[in-house]
Amino acid sequence: MKQPINTIIIDDEPACVSNLSFYLSEYCPDIQIVATGHSLADAQKIVRKGQVHLAFFDIQLFDHNIFELLDETTLPFDVVLVTAYDEYAIRAIRSEVFDYILKPLSRKEIVACYDRLLARRSGTIASAMPAPVSADPAATKMILKAGEQVYVVRHSDILYLKANGAYTEVVFWYNNQRKSVTTGKSINAMSQVCDASFFYRVHKSYVVNMKLIRSVIKTDALQLLMMNDDIVPVAKRRSSDFIRTYSPAAV
């Protein structure tokens, strides 16, 4: 029999505890909720008892903040922050929490978090924290880290993805400047994160944001002039399908 993932939930809103408990119980079969609480004191008391594998923590707890706990000790279990505030994203990644989910909660995001947790525990992927997800795909954010610099980038500001062996270079706008960060994920994995409604795989090595194409260059080999003047090739076998899909008026 598989060992259950002993899970705790700390949130100062009882309705949020109930909502999250329902999603976990209904859609995450390996999760076993062993304790819940509503305050920082509750969290500290439950943590001291041990036997915890996973914690869902609200950030703002009455007059306390969960970072008071995260900053004072290294917790021996995975932490998922569940909050209505996206401004904590950079602090969350620096605290090396496993995941960060924005309220209002959705079944899709809870199950996605659960799937990532199972994959990491099975050793099939490394720990990685996605950015908070918004209901608007263009407003969804990706957290990119380059050394000590952390970027929180809207999907709408990503120009294109470029495969670099097993890694992916993400090229994006940041404060009206072109930036790029190489991630440890493959382009296949990164392209699955980007919303299919405006990102398109034009080449085995490139995924482009169709909203940020300046023009299409029709030569012997189709090329795309991006808004930052970078040129991205379109594979010949994908050219016809791209032309049918791409419509400047639509994007």
Residue 148 sits in the same domain as residue 94: no
Distance, CA of 229 to CA of 219 (rounded, Å): 17
Q: Is residue 206 part of a domain?
A: yes
Give me 146's structure tokens: 């380059």
d(CA 234, CA 216): 10
The CATH number for 198's domain is 2.40.50.1020
Q: What is the 3-state secondary structure (H, E, C) of 178-236?
A: EEEEEECCCHHHHHHHCCCCCEEEEECCEEEEHHHEEEEECCCCCEEEECCCCEEECCH
Q: How many CA atoms lie within 13 A of 59 on its CB side?
A: 20
Domain shared by 32 and 62, yes or no: yes
Q: Which segment, 13-17, 121-125, 146-150, 152-156, is predicted with the most confidence on average?
A: 13-17
Residue 215 — very low, low, confident or very high, per pLDDT cuts 50/70/90? very high
218 and 116 in a common domain: no
- Considering the domain architecture, whether residues 65 and 100 belong to the same structural domain is answered as yes
What confidence tens digit (pLDDT) does each residue in 187-200 have? 888 887 777 778 99
Asked if 97 and 12 sit in the same domain, the reply is: yes
| Domain co-membership, 115 together with 36 | yes
The answer to whether residue 43 sits within a structural domain is: yes
Residue 140 neighbours by CB under 8 Å, 6+ apart? 131, 132, 133, 134, 154, 155, 195
pLDDT tens per residue, range 17-73 = 999 999 999 999 999 999 999 999 999 999 988 889 999 999 888 878 898 888 877
The whole-angstrom distance between residue 31's C-alpha and the CA centroid of its chain comes to 21
Top-confidence residue, 250 or 24: 24
Residue 87's contacts (CB-CB under 8 Å, 6 or more residues apart) are none
Three-class SS of residue 16? helix
pLDDT: which is higher, 18 or 147: 18
Q: 202 and 108 in one domain?
A: no
* pLDDT at site 250: 43
Half-sphere exposure of 88 (CA within 13 A, CB side): 21
Which has the higher per-residue pLDDT, 103 or 233? 233
Q: Are 141 and 77 members of one domain? A: no
- Residues 82 and 156 placed together within one structural domain of the fold: no
CATH of the domain at 115: 3.40.50.2300
pLDDT of residue 248: 58
% helix / strand / coil in the chain, to the nearest 5? Answer: 30, 35, 35
Q: Dump pLDDT digits (tens) for 157-194.
A: 999 999 988 889 999 998 888 999 888 788 888 887 77
- In single-letter form, the type of residue at position 111 comes to V
Residues 117 and 142 in one domain: no
Q: Within a 10 A sphere around the Cβ of 88, how many other Cβ atoms?
A: 19
Assess if residue 131 is contained within a domain: no
Report the domain count for the chain: 2
Indicate whether 182 belongs to any domain.
Answer: yes
State whether 115 and 143 are in the same domain: no
Per the domain annotation, does 132 fall within a domain? Answer: no
Q: Assess whether 16 and 66 both reside in one domain.
A: yes
- Its domain, for residue 114, covers 5-121
What is the number of other CB atoms lying within 10 angstroms of the CB of residue 243?
13
Kindly report whether the global pTM for this prediction surpasses the value 0.75: no
Distance in angstroms (rounded) separating the CA atoms of residues 18 and 9: 10
> Minimal CA–CA distance to 4: which of 126, 121, 129, 128?
121
